[in-house]
Chains A and B, each alone.
Chain A
Amino acid sequence: MPENDILLEVKNLKMWFPITQGIIFQRHIGDIKAVDGLNFSVRRGETLGLVGESGCGKTTTGRAILQLYRPTEGDVYFEGQNLCKLKGEPLRRMRRKMQMIFQDPYASLNPRMTVGDIVSEPLEVHHILKGKALRERVMDLLEVVGLNRYFVNRYPHEFSGGQRQRIGVARALAVQPDFIVCDEPISALDVSIQAQIINLLEELQAEFHLTYLFIAHDLSVVKHISDRVAVMYLGKIVELPTRAKLYENPLHPYTQALLSAVPIPDPVVEEKRQRIILPGDVPSPANPPKGCNFHPRCPVKIAGTCDVDEPEFIDVGGEHWVACHRVK
């Protein structure tokens, strides 16, 4: 596998949701800048982690990449094709190559469909298999994700959260995609089940050469599964290092604060852990701060620079991208 085999490239991706006022004549009075200018790429076979706190635009990023939301601006190249320019039938056909695993295994399965119907739907939609072959394949898929093949006639409510998430994984795998957006696939699960699902995802990646965009808010999980990690804050990526660099040498003050919040499973070390507590709250994405998004909460801000200029997203060497005025 060549080092630079880029599967997905995101250029200046913006997803703004309009805020309108008025009943008949809807005036456009502003935008929620959920995602505001993202640039990154994902190589074939790797896992890119995407972390950040609630409301920073992680899920929106995943959905905008898959064109479940049409991005306001920017381009998403998948195998060289610009998804933002596709629509209708060609886009529908592209969906076969990119799938999604949802956060909530309860809400994302249609309660009125059997497991068999749920898992076979992508195969039917893309006219891949029919009849007996379809049923066989669905049963095989259930086995691949560690479920009993005779669960096909059951309904989602008969399963536990972890089992449902396996069903979700099975249907994402059904069409043999290249790329899967995992949108917090384990956040709704128990810790013991989380490990099972993570291991399953890793096994499947090795077996089917999958590429993941792994969205999570839990750094320890991301550390486990990712090759590189993008840290998001208020609609922007502030730092994008490799996994090793993230933990050895976090450069952005926000990343440092995030890392300091991860508990260490060793009571002696945990005693000495210094938490960096950020003052204030995340500003509203409808009205982000001028200059660097992070400056109102930043412990090391440079007055006159950080609140005026937006820092550039630069590579400081060895594939370590960061957007901070302190880092040159």
Chain B
Amino acid sequence: MEQLKEIWRTFRHRPMGMVGALMLFSVVFVAILAPWLAPYDPKERIDVEPGDLLAPPDAEHLLGRDDAGKDVLSQLMYGARVSLTVGFVASFMSVFIGTTVGLVAGYFGGRIGNALMRLVDFLLVIPDLPLMLVFITMWGRGLWKIILVIGLLGWTSTARLVRSQVLSIKERQFILRARAIGAGRLRIITRHIFPQVLPLILADAVLSISGAIIAESSLSFLGLGDPMLISWGMMLNFAFERAISRMAWWFLLPPGLAIVWVSVGLIMIGNTLEEIVNPRLKTHHLFDPRHMGALVTGMPPEAEAEVAAQ
């Protein structure tokens, strides 16, 4: 808890992170309040007359209408619910699995660790999207199946990250002393190792939410989304099939931009968190102005500062 507060204190002063957070919360806000904010029922075909199909934006329909005469803005607002649900639930799943696998593989090592890491390698080399397509085709379409597929296939990078951290933490002396006082394995992992990797997991989780949202959109765009739900990917799919040939940009652009908006927001938060918990990422030393001189003069920055002072 103390750590999270500490991270928040630093996070608050990072413009990039705060902008990202605002971007994310704007979408969360819209998603939660969709029933009240949306001007129309997204599934309702309002007094459809031939001219209303793919009608361009006007005062009544700010983002125009789709090929069935439904309001695009309302669809966009409801779509946020699906994207965020998939993003949060699937990424929670994958981070949970990845953390568990990483902790076990890192702490116990040996045969169990090796077996788990080979499984990770195996899953890493298979391209994710085709594999997801195969699973969805086999299982059938549905919101929970999509979440499950994304969650079950996305944990590998988390597992690697956590394992590498655990490998270094478990050699530290306070782990040895915890063993010396008689702490069991479970206690060492949960009380001593997990709190040390928690900040990293947090940053990783935020980044993986955007991954899950994009994965859901890709699946829906390819026509494997839940047919009963409106999601941004589904909208793209419909727009791509029916609207693009008629230059109906108001149907195609909003869902695309919404995906970009929320992903960029999440990535900004995630990168900021990563910078906070792992300061080495902050600036590449070559791009640090203090070090650039060293490249030319071959002098370390401290020496250079001294020369400059003279």
Contacts and interface: CB of A to CB of B under 8 A. Distances in A.
B174 interface: yes
Contacts of B177: 100, 102, 108, 168
Interface string B158-191: 0000000000000011101111111110010001
Contact of A125 (B2, B3, B181, B195): B181
Contacts of B174: 107-111
Contact of B180 (A68, A110, A112): A68
Contacts of B3: 112
Contact of A68 (B179, B184, B187, B195): B179
Nearest to A106: B173
A47 to B, nearest CB: 19
A122 B177 CA distance: 10
B176 A125 contact: no
A110 B174 CA distance: 6
A214 to B, nearest CB: 16
Nearest to A171: B181
Interface in A98-154: 99-100, 102, 104, 107-112, 121-122, 125-126
Contacts of A110: 174, 178, 192
Nearest to A109: B174
Interface residues of A, number: 25
Contacts of A99: 180-181
A27 interface: no
Which 6 residue pairs spanning A and B have beta carbons closest together? A95-B182, A107-B173, A122-B181, A110-B174, A108-B173, A100-B180
B196 interface: yes
Interface of B: 2-3, 172-174, 176-184, 187, 191-192, 195-196
22 contacts: A68-B180, A92-B182, A93-B182, A100-B180, A102-B173, A102-B177, A104-B173, A107-B172, A107-B173, A107-B174, A108-B177, A109-B174, A110-B178, A110-B192, A112-B196, A121-B183, A125-B181, A125-B183, A126-B182, A171-B181, A172-B181, A175-B181
Given A93-B182, A110-B178, A175-B181, 20 more contacts: A68-B176, A92-B182, A96-B182, A99-B180, A100-B177, A100-B180, A102-B176, A102-B177, A107-B173, A108-B173, A108-B174, A108-B176, A110-B192, A121-B178, A121-B181, A122-B181, A122-B182, A125-B184, A125-B187, A168-B177
Contacts of A66: 180
A265 to B, nearest CB: 33
A175 B156 CA distance: 42
B68 to A, nearest CB: 56
Q: Which of B173, B179, B182, B195 has the most CB of A within 10 A?
A: B182
Interface of A: 63, 66, 68, 92-93, 95-96, 99-100, 102, 104, 107-112, 121-122, 125-126, 168, 171-172, 175
Contacts of A172: 181
Nearest to A111: B174
A59 to B, nearest CB: 11
A108 B171 CA distance: 11
Contacts of A171: 181
Contacts of B192: 110
Contacts of B195: 112
A203 to B, nearest CB: 22
Contacts of A102: 173, 176-177
Contacts of A122: 181-182
A201 to B, nearest CB: 17
Contact of A92 (B173, B176, B184, B196): B184
A28 to B, nearest CB: 16
Nearest to B184: A92
Nearest to B176: A68
A110 B183 CA distance: 14
Nearest to A95: B182
Nearest to B177: A108
